[in-house]
């Protein structure tokens, strides 16, 4: 699976959009981009995933660049409860089916 | 409600005393796995199971055993725990047959071996 690079930490004001970048320049054509988050040592929580097109759900939006070498997770109206570690993962199944390789992630702190 | 349930949530034990951490899911998922999380090392996969009676080693299997006798349950067994197995453990499950899917994680078991 391709390696990802994320900033170590980011801050965001409550009510503003939080934009979390992820670089995955070695991504291959069959690899999906997944985002998970972990709130204070709880189990990781799925947020969103995509292959090529931008995706939106009730939690967030995922913007993937046309060359697929980077992506941005957008939390449109961040709240204090969105303070967490956010993980960007690229994954294609195959021989590593089911294994999610978590990096260090981005610590997002939402301020009042 | 779709969920993965781990028990216990917290456990303090002594070196060498066998223990089992249970994991159960109610989503009829084929794939289940165990991770451990340690500061600076992130989440690492211990064992996984593609279906009933099918298990395989992940990245850090030493000192652990698993079994998958029923689809819903995937217990993690530490036959002779040692202090280096002090960690935060997570069980996860997902559908096997579809790549385009999400994994569900339990709330974690914080294990301390003294």
- Binning chain B into helix, strand and coil, the percentages to the nearest 5 are 5, 50, 45
- pLDDT tens for each residue of B16-32: 999 999 999 999 999 99
CA gap B110, B10 in Å, rounded: 5
CA gap A22, A80 in Å, rounded: 22
Helix, strand, or coil (residue B52): coil
CA gap B4, B101 in Å, rounded: 16
- pLDDT tens for each residue of A17-51: 999 999 999 998 888 899 999 999 899 999 999 99
Residue-level pLDDT at B4: 97
Helix, strand, or coil (residue B67): coil
CB contact under 8 A, A43 and B45: no
Token code pair at residue A68:
């697929």
Least confident range of A29-33, A76-80, A96-100, B104-108: A96-100
CB contact under 8 A, B43 and A44: yes
Which of A60 and A2 is assigned the larger pLDDT? A60
Q: Which residues of A touch B2 (CB under 8 A)?
A: none
* Parallel/antiparallel/unpaired status of strands B109-113 and B10-13: parallel
Q: Is A23 on the interface with B (CB under 8 A)?
A: no
- pLDDT tens for each residue of A44-60: 999 999 999 899 999 99
Confirm if B55 and B65 have CB atoms less than 8 A apart. no
Q: Is B2 on the interface with A (CB under 8 A)?
A: no
Q: Which residues of A touch B90 (CB under 8 A)?
A: 43-44
- pLDDT tens for each residue of B64-89: 999 999 999 999 999 999 999 999 99
Has residue B60 got a pLDDT over 60?
yes
Residue-level pLDDT at A24: 94
CA gap B10, A52 in Å, rounded: 41
Has residue B90 got a pLDDT over 90?
yes
Nearest CA in chain A to B9: A42
Exposed / middle / buried, residue B10 (Cβ in 10 Å: 0-12, 13-18, 19+): exposed
Confirm if A108 and A62 have CB atoms less than 8 A apart. no
Q: Considering only the beta carbons, identify the residue of A44, A97, A98 that sits closest to B105.
A: A44
Residue-level pLDDT at A88: 95
Residue-level pLDDT at A4: 93
């Amino acid at each position: 699976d391709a390696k990802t690079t994320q900033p170590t930490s980011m801050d965001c004001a409550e009510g503003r959009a939080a934009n979390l970048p992820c670089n995955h320049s070695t991504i291959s054509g069959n690899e999906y981009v997944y985002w998970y988050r972990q709130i204070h040592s709880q189990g990781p929580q799925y947020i969103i995933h995509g292959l090529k097109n931008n995706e939106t759900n009730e939690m967030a939006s995922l913007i993937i660049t046309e060359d697929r070498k980077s992506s941005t997770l957008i939390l449109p109206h961040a709240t204090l409860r969105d303070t967490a570690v956010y993980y960007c993962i690229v994954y294609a199944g195959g021989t590593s089916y089911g294994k999610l390789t978590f990096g260090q992630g981005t610590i997002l702190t939402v301020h009042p | 409600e779709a969920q993965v349930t781990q028990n216990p949530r917290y456990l303090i034990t002594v070196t060498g005393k066998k223990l089992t951490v249970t994991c159960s899911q109610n989503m009829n998922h084929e794939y289940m796995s165990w991770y451990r999380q340690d500061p600076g090392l992130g989440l690492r996969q211990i064992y996984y199971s593609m279906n009933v009676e099918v298990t395989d080693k992940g990245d850090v299997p030493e000192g652990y055993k698993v079994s998958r006798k029923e689809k819903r349950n995937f217990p993690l067994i530490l036959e002779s725990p040692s202090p280096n197995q002090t960690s935060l453990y997570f069980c996860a499950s997902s559908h096997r047959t579809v790549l385009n899917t999400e994994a569900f994680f339990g709330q974690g078991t914080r294990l301390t071996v003294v």
